[in-house]
A and B are shown apart, each in its own frame.
Chain A
Amino acid sequence: MNKSIFWRFLFIGLTVAAAIVFFLPNTPLFKSMPEWWQKNMPNKGIVLGLDLQGGLHLVFEVEADKAVESTVERYVITIREMLQKKKLQTEVKKNGLNIEVTPAGQDVLAAVKEGYSNLDITTAGQMIILRMNDKEMSFIKDNAANQALETIRNRVDQFGVSEPTIHRQGTNEIVVQLPGVKDPKRAIDLIGKTALLEFKIVDDESPVAAQFPSSIAPGDEERVLEQFSGKIPEGDQILFEKKVNRETGAVTKFPVLLKKETVLTGALLSEARVTLDTQFSTPHVSIAFNPEGAKRFEEITAANVKKRLAIILDNTVYSAPVIQERISGGNAQITGSFGMDEAKDLSIVLKAGALPAPLKMLQNVTVGPSLGSDSIEAGKMAGIAGTIAVAIFMIIYYRLSGVIADLALLLNIILLFGAMASLNATLTLPGIAGIILAIGMAVDSNVLMFERMRDELRTGKTPRSAVDSGYKKAFWTIFDSHVTTLITAAVLFQFGTGPIKGFAVTLSLGVSINLYTALIGTKSVFDLINSRHDVKKLSI
């Protein structure tokens, strides 16, 4: 055998061996390999996309403007407290993103300038206007997105999903991919919940509270709010408490009048876990504050004995027990009519912390596990049928040369799977389509060469020179036609979403490998045949 042909075959053999090693993890054979192999050799292989293995693909928008708003609200409270401490009679109001302080006395101006030099301060008549600068606002927005990302990551970790993908996209979007989740609704609720835990004092002193209905029809909240708007004392607000009837399971709501000011939030929690009520053995969520939170909790309870303290999660009152005495130690319980899962999820979100801003769902693609496996089966079927059809056609049309082309096709398929496995590429449903199309295109290079060889043979050339010049002349045609397909694949990769990216990957890998199998693989076989015998006639 000619030396260069030997080296080429050796090289092909090595690439095939490498492809098999890389692809092994995707076969059942991998489990029966020795332990050192499983540990040290490639062990990941091709990853199935969400559309094939089932799971959730979610895109959320962090409503970062809300984070800016709540920062403004916090400023209002701290500025008000600061001015009260200095015994300055003023009114502090939030107006959009502006904080308005009236009246604008010299001492007031001096005080805010001293305490809040980071804000832009202007005066307009009898009013001082404070506003965050753009840099601070964009910092808050960016920070909100980052914090939301971290919080979601914590929640998902505790929920227990294998190999989740969570990342930021653009300025304020978060992409969450959860493969193989069995209960999509629960996962969505868990991630999307703002989980803002607040404690507020119930205003039972106002006569308005006595006029509240004891229960309202579902969806009647708006009407109640409208009915009492303007009647409730300044600095108060109405929220609704949910009650579930233990026997019937019927949900009812009723309004509660609260002091607007949040006395404590869940930010100071150190622990949240599910405990069982001893009497009814219904689950509750026990929370514990960190030392700072415990101290504030003690102060608040001390100052409000005999009043009711409402525990509010995402603007729904869960319970509002009467404070019997000062509570030290910083432990509390959230009761409500929870199911076990609900209580567990609540403890997860409380532990992981509240989202800095509400999330809005932009996209939700959920694929059940059965659809995914159906798709894989269908893809296998189509792939095998397509390959056989092409293989038979090539043998009928090009006879022995067709067999060589089919060998190249087989090589192409092996290397394609090997390459995908070596890159740990994600196989998606469109990706399967890409592989099958690549199989159809794989023989094209051979067709172009064979037709060229036929041309050369017609002009009376010997088989050997027909092979050589056929290859040479077909090369640039093959190259050009592959590049055009690669350009579109690259564009698809750039602009496509997950599944489409998978298509671009398999198609471009398939087409690139095809150049190798056609120009090195098939050519070597022809060279081998020509070097062995003095071939008189080419079976083409």
Chain B
Amino acid sequence: MLEIIKNTNIDFLGKRNIAFIFSGIISLIGIFAMVQIATGQANLGIDFAGGTSVQLKFERPVKVHDIRKALEDGGIKDFDLQELTGENKILIRAKNIEIQSGKVSEQVTGVISQKFPDNNFVVDSTTEIGPKVGGKLRADAGMAIVVATIGILIYIAIRFKLNFAVGATVATFHDVTAVLGIFYLLGKEINLILVTALLTIAGYSLTDTVVVFDRIRENLRIRLKDPVESVMNLSINEVLSRTIVTSLTVLLTSVALFFFGGEVLHDFSLAMIIGLLIGTYSSVFVASPIVLLWGGNKPLGKK
């Protein structure tokens, strides 16, 4: 029998203070990022901020600063460029501009074809989002996160007890804020697809948490006399290998997506990878300690 972890006996709950400090810091970064997003200071994607993006695929390699200069000379203001490595692709984004049926994208392609006459290109994609739609999408994304959190809270509260639900929800929220914070620190774009990744992480991080909770509940019913903390520790140790293995399999597919999935899914899979790591950590170090703190010596209530 091949085992990653054999008969561990780690005092996970004893390390809760260290875990709380660590988690507190990354959560604070995440909350800071949220405030920045809400006030429009963060690197919002055009689906949230509104604006125009044009992706061009050139026949031969181009230099980003040549494109920048060409566009500036062509009178296009307030844009940023991103090079998609290896494929001669350039992504041009102009934010916060009122869209007028293709004006900006036309201007961009016009300028580029004029300045680079000997390097043909095709327009891979054009996206124009009006500010009204951007606002609506932002509100929808926020709403989705709130509704998902409430839904999960209710489900766990029905299947377990409220204190477990609170632990699971805090852990999940922690994962989502942490990934958001890390993306903010990395200067990555906050867009709709990231929100999708965050919600997926929320759903999946719960899977890990539920596995741990299930065992805690089972053991609490058998070991009535043992202190709750040691039952929890035992349970976490018992399910440690499956917590790691289940995360590992999803991690394998996320890594495959990261390397092979193409440019659009690149950030999505990066968020998934970070989220999986943090989610695994939080189901052990965050969810259970909160149940312990909230539920005290009778986490299952009077039974």
Contact = CB atoms under 8 A, between A and B. Distances in A.
A63 interface: no
Nearest to A504: B196
A389 B256 contact: yes
Contact of A484 (B124, B207, B214, B272): B207
Interface in B116-149: 122-130, 132-133, 137, 140-141, 143-144, 147-148
A480 B159 contact: yes
Contact of A370 (B57, B99, B126, B252): B57
Contact of A497 (B4, B126, B137, B249): B137
A430 B249 CA distance: 19
Interface stretch (B22-30, B31-39, B181-189, B239-247): B239-247
Contact of A451 (B124, B143, B193, B241): B241
Interface string B142-174: 011001100110011001000000000000000
Contacts of A362: 99, 129-130, 132-133
B206 A436 contact: no
Nearest to B201: A488
A378 B248 contact: no
Contact of B268 (A399, A433, A489, A491): A433
Interface residues of B, number: 71
B246 A491 contact: no
Nearest to A457: B1
B170 to A, nearest CB: 15
A385 interface: yes
B44 interface: no
A386 B99 CA distance: 40
B262 interface: yes
Contacts of B155: 483-484, 487
Contacts of A120: none
A105 interface: no
Interface string A467-498: 00000000011001111111111111011110
A492 B156 CA distance: 19
B210 interface: yes
Given A484-B210, A495-B144, A364 B126 contact: yes
Interface stretch (A216-224, A232-240, A338-346, A437-445): A437-445
Contacts of A399: 2
Interface string A356-392: 0000111111111011001101110111011101100
Interface in A134-176: none
A429 interface: yes
Contacts of A540: 1
A225 B151 CA distance: 59
B122 A390 contact: no
Interface string A380-423: 01110111011001101111000000000000000000000000
A507 interface: yes
B250 A368 contact: no
B261 A368 contact: no
B277 interface: no
A361 B261 contact: no
A263 interface: no
Interface bin, chain A: 35 or more
Contacts of A489: 203
Interface in A288-312: none
A259 B31 CA distance: 62
A82 to B, nearest CB: 40
Interface string B198-212: 011011101100110
B196 A480 contact: no
A67 B288 CA distance: 61
A59 interface: yes
Nearest to B202: A488
A448 interface: yes
Interface stretch (A184-192, A265-273, A516-524): A184-192
B127 to A, nearest CB: 5
A503 B238 CA distance: 34
A454 interface: yes
A429 B264 contact: yes
A209 interface: no
Given A488-B148, A496-B144, A448 B252 contact: no
**Chain B at the A interface: mostly helix, strand, loop or mixed?**
helix
B55 interface: yes
B130 A361 contact: yes
A433 B141 contact: no
Interface in B61-88: none
A240 B242 CA distance: 75
A497 B192 contact: yes
B56 to A, nearest CB: 10
A364 B123 CA distance: 14
Nearest to A385: B256
Interface in B210-242: 210-211, 214, 238-239, 241-242
A398 B1 CA distance: 7
A375 B241 CA distance: 35
- Most chain B CB neighbours (cut-off 10 Å) among A360, A366, A370, A387: A366
Contacts of B248: 393
A481 B246 CA distance: 11
B287 interface: no
Given A361-B128, A366-B127, A390 B252 contact: yes
Contact of B128 (A363, A485, A496, A507): A363
A479 B111 CA distance: 56
Nearest to B205: A484
A185 B193 CA distance: 26
Contacts of B251: 440
A371 B199 CA distance: 26
Nearest to B262: A378
B261 A364 contact: no
B9 interface: no
14 contacts: A61-B132, A188-B102, A361-B99, A363-B130, A365-B125, A365-B128, A368-B122, A382-B257, A436-B261, A447-B246, A447-B249, A454-B1, A490-B151, A496-B144
Given A430-B265, A444-B250, A481-B210, 20 more contacts: A185-B106, A363-B133, A365-B128, A370-B124, A378-B260, A386-B256, A389-B256, A390-B249, A393-B249, A432-B265, A437-B204, A437-B253, A447-B249, A480-B214, A482-B207, A484-B155, A484-B210, A491-B148, A495-B140, A503-B196
Interface of B: 1-2, 4, 55, 57, 99-102, 106, 122-130, 132-133, 137, 140-141, 143-144, 147-148, 151-152, 155-156, 159, 192-193, 196, 199-200, 202-204, 206-207, 210-211, 214, 238-239, 241-242, 245-246, 248-257, 259-262, 264-265, 268-269, 272
Question: 3 tightest CB-CB pairs across the interface, nearest first?
Answer: A378-B262, A440-B253, A386-B256
